[in-house]
């Protein structure tokens, strides 16, 4: 039997994008703070699910971004913005690592929700 869960997080802060320049000291502090917060939110979301069968050996993830408006978006940048969330999933003990041996990350999908922008990460235990 395959288990799955979906965690819901706010859209990542723009400073988590690899295209965001943080050359100043305050910019670096802002990026560090945003990374820690997003990692903590992901960890808390997984822990709230109270998965008794963790740790899972191998998971696949499918992020779905819901934005207020539809436009072209760079999949690679949005995947990178979720690095802190994947680390939070590991911190919660759902999977032992976020490397290719333990986690397969599918490219993100982009949908529109004008009322509730968010990212949902669907996590499936197994291949």
Q: Looking at residue 127, what is its pLDDT? A: 62
Q: For 67-96, what is each residue's pLDDT tens digit? A: 999 999 999 999 999 999 999 999 999 999
Q: For 43-75, what is each residue's pLDDT tens digit? A: 999 999 999 888 999 999 999 999 999 999 999
Instruction: Give the range of the structural domain holding residue 66, as residue numbers without chain letter.
Output: 4-125
- Supply the pTM of this predicted model: 0.93
Rounded distance between C-alpha atoms, residue 69 and residue 127, angstroms: 33
Concatenating the DSSP letter of every residue in 74-125 gives: -HHHHHHHTHHHHHHHHHTTSBS--STTTEEEPPPEEEE-SS--EEEEEEEE
In the chain, how many domains are there?
1
Phi, psi angle pair for 80, to nearest 5°: -65, -35
Q: Looking at residue 26, what is its pLDDT? A: 81
Q: Is 46 helix (H, G, I), strand (E, B) or coil?
A: helix
Q: What is the CATH number of the domain that holds 99?
A: 3.30.1330
């Amino acid at each position: 039997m395959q288990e799955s869960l979906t965690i819901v997080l706010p859209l990542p802060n723009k400073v988590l994008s690899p295209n965001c320049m943080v050359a100043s000291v305050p910019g670096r502090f802002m990026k560090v703070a945003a990374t820690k917060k997003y990692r903590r939110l992901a960890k808390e979301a997984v822990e709230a699910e109270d998965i008794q069968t963790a740790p899972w050996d191998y998971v696949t993830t499918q992020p779905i971004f819901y934005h207020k408006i539809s436009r072209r978006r760079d999949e690679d940048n949005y995947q990178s913005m979720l690095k802190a969330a994947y680390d939070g999933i590991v911190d919660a003990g759902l999977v032992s690592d976020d490397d290719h041996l333990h986690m397969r990350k599918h490219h993100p999908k982009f949908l529109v929700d004008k009322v509730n922008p968010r990212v949902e990460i669907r996590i499936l235990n197994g291949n």
